[in-house]
Amino acid sequence: MKYLIIGNGVAGTTAAENIRKRDHERDITILTDEGTPFYSRIRLIEYLAGEAQERDIVIHAKEWYEKNNIHLCLEAHVSFIDSEAKETVTAAGERFSYDRLLLATGGISFIPPITGSDKTGVFALRTIKDADEIIRFARGKKKIIMIGGGVLGLEAANSLRKRGHDISVVEFFPRLLPRQMDPDGAEVLKAQMESMGFSFYLGAKTKEISGDQQVRGTLLEDGTMIDGDLVIVSAGVRAQAEHAKKLGLTVNKGIAVNDRMETEKQGIFAAGDAIEHRGMFYGIWHAAQRQGEVAGTNMAGGDVSYEGTTISNVLKVAGIDLAAAGDIDADSSYDSITHKDSDNFIYKKIVIKENVISGCILYGDISGYRKILKAIEDTRDIREIKDKLERWELDGL
């Protein structure tokens, strides 16, 4: 039995770890086109800010793979997979056979079709290599434009602010963090970040990235011109599923898998940011980690199922704590309990559907988040304690 994993992110590495727990002897090979062993993408923003070195964000150094008898091949770009011969071929011509294959190819940064996006000085941030290129290019430059006001965009922007750059953020939605914040919460976040020196253009669409060969700024659809020396596009992640398409596998938002993380082809599994499960594309760390655990266990003969993941995030946005989970009810369609303290930049919200907590936002003060998250996951009836919740007394949860 030979196990082959394409991708060395959290899904692929977790799968390898769980294969080894059940199968102590057979070959496990991981192929990755990156030049660094498994590292934390979450901590890339610390690396970008100069607050962490590469060694600080690497989770498993080469010694870990050696200790667990896992063959890690860095900078091994897979060019072809032959599912009939059960073999992969890399760009360097190396061939790797397998009995069971895991596609853990992850996601790729989505670059919208903006005129000028091919100019020198336009970047996306997904890998440590991307971060290195941004750091090098940004030296000696002052003005940076971030296209995208989501979590990664704001975090990357704040990292570069710490390095002394002026930051302008262009966001298509009328508010920041549209997936984690409702309008009231986003207003508090915007005010706090403006106090740090950020400039925002909300409800704005980039028409063109200007300049000759190199970036000189961005032109918005309404005619506004923003000067800038460097542009980072943070417009979301798409599944990296080209291999799956060539294999004839179903690809929607991602590679379609069942609860065992199996694809339609026997012996081929998929997990992480490359997949779609029950119509859901998660693109979040803890979902990919659980999917990798399930895939690895089942590849090695186990029988476990993935039941989905509650969408929840505990983040730091510009160094400020933010926790969001479930349905944040951005359109105010349901009952909710809120607390807003604009002077201290604190916003808290619990969303209630049919006497059950279905979502929450905690910004600036995330105390009690674990209790709220457990109540969401347990679909706890809160009728008897609703009065206490309205006073933000969470001890009854």
How does pLDDT run across 263-279, given as a tens digit for each residue?
A: 999 999 999 999 999 99
For residues 369-379, average pLDDT: 93
Q: Where are the domains of the chain?
A: 2-108+238-299, 122-233, 327-390
Phi-psi bin for 162: left (phi > 0), alpha (psi -120 to 50), beta? alpha
Q: Please give the Cα distance from 145 to 113 (Å, whole number).
A: 17
pLDDT value at 64 more than 80: yes
Does residue 262 register a pLDDT over 90?
yes
Mark residue 159 as left, alpha or beta (left: phi above 0; alpha: psi -120 to 50; beta: remaining).
Answer: alpha
State the residue for tokens 């009328």: 174
Instruction: Tell me the pLDDT band of 179, cut-offs 50, 70 and 90.
Output: confident
Percent of the chain with pLDDT over 90: 93
Band (313; pLDDT cuts 50, 70, 90) = confident
pLDDT of residue 120: 97
Share of the chain above pLDDT 70, in %: 100
Average pLDDT, the chain: 95
Q: Are 321 and 364 in contact (CB under 8 A)?
A: yes
pLDDT at 229: 96
Q: Which pLDDT value is given to residue 396?
A: 85
pLDDT at 315: 78
Mean pLDDT of all residues in 28-34: 97
CA distance 210 to 225: 9
- 3-state secondary structure labels for all residues of the chain: CEEEEECCCHHHHHHHHHHHHHCCCCEEEEECCCCCCCECCCCHHHHHHCCCCHHHHECCCHHHHHHCCCEEECCCCEEEEECCCCEEEECCCCEEECCEEEECCCEEECCCCCECCCCECEECCCCHHHHHHHHHHHCCCCEEEEECCCHHHHHHHHHHHHCCCEEEEEECCCCCCCCCCCHHHHHHHHHHHHHHCCEEEECCCEEEEECCCECCEEEECCCCEEECCEEEECCCEEECCHHHHHCCCCECCCEEECCCCECCCCCEEECCCCEEECCECCCCHHHHHHHHHHHHHHHCCCCCCCCCCCCEEEEEECCEEEEEEECCCCCCCCEEEEEEEHHHCEEEEEEEECCEEEEEEEECCCCCHHHHHHHHHHCCECHHHHHHHHCCCCCCC
| Residue 106: both structure tokens together | 């992850």
Average pLDDT over residues 197-225: 97
CATH 3.30.300.130 corresponds to the domain 2-108+238-299: no
CATH node for 122-233: 3.50.50.60
**Mean per-residue pLDDT, 75-90:** 97
Cα 271 to Cα 102: distance, rounded to the nearest angstrom: 7
Average pLDDT over residues 82-109: 97
Nearest residue to 30 via CA among 73, 1, 65? 73
Residues in contact with 241: Cβ distance below 8 Å, sequence separation at least 6, in sequence order: 103, 105, 249, 251, 254, 255, 274
Lowest-confidence pick of 83-97, 123-137, 219-233, 382-396: 382-396
| Whole-number Å distance between alpha carbons of 169 and 154 | 8
pLDDT at residue 27 above 80?
yes
pLDDT at 8: 97
pTM of the model: 0.89
Cα–Cα dist 206/218, whole Å:
7
Common-topology check for domains 2-108+238-299 and 122-233: yes
